[in-house]
């Protein structure tokens, strides 16, 4: 792993908070000229420190503000069943995040839905059709307290 200096770390913090800055704005914030800042950002991108740039959409503006964490237990633990579930989950638009976890459950899904009725239809008509699922447990979000995609640098 390459060594990142204070300027690299500052650039990453600034971009993690708001990736919409121009190179000129970034240069001003880190007290460098635009050319070396552009070179640093490209190096950070090429070396995988920056995975991609995205716009974080407000789910409530699209009537998708009902957030549910759905825990899934596989029907059985073998490679084929796990791979089948992953392939199926990747096709479901309501699932915005999916993690393979250890413990009582095998996967945790973050699901955006319109409301409880929409989530019920999702469970019956989408999750319920997946043969690899043994059981599910849903936890409904009452309020979002912190949602940061930043990592501690």
pLDDT category of residue 22 using cuts at 50, 70 and 90: very high
Closest among 17, 32, 22, 56 to 153, alpha carbons compared: 17
From 3.90.550.10, 3.40.50.2000, 1.10.10.10, 3.40.50.2300, which CATH number describes the 6-46 domain?
Answer: 1.10.10.10
pTM of this structure: 0.84
Written as six digits, the tokens of 131 are 């043969």
Beta-bridged to residue 69, according to DSSP, are 110, 139
Mean pLDDT of 93-112: 96
Give the percent of the chain with pLDDT over 90: 86
Task: Determine contact, residues 113/93, Cβ cutoff 8 Å.
Answer: no
Boundaries of every domain in the chain:
6-46, 59-140
Class of 59-140 in CATH: alpha beta
Q: Where are the alpha helices (DSSP H) in the chain?
A: 6-17, 23-30, 34-46, 79-89, 116-125
């Amino acid at each position: 792993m390459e060594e990142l200096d204070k300027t690299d770390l500052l650039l990453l913090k600034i971009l993690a908070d708001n990736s919409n800055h121009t190179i000129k704005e970034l240069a001003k914030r880190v007290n460098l000229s635009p050319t070396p800042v552009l070179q640093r950002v490209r190096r950070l991108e090429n070396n995988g420190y920056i995975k991609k740039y995205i716009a974080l959409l407000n789910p409530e503006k699209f009537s998708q503000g009902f957030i549910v964490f759905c825990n899934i237990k596989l029907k059985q633990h073998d490679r084929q069943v796990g791979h089948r579930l992953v392939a199926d989950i990747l096709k479901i638009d309501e699932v915005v995040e999916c993690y393979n976890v250890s413990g009582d459950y095998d996967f945790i899904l973050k699901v955006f839905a319109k409301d409880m009725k929409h989530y019920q239809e999702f469970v019956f008509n989408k999750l319920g059709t997946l043969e690899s699922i043994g059981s599910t447990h849903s936890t409904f979000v009452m309020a979002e307290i912190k949602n940061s995609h930043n990592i501690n640098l």
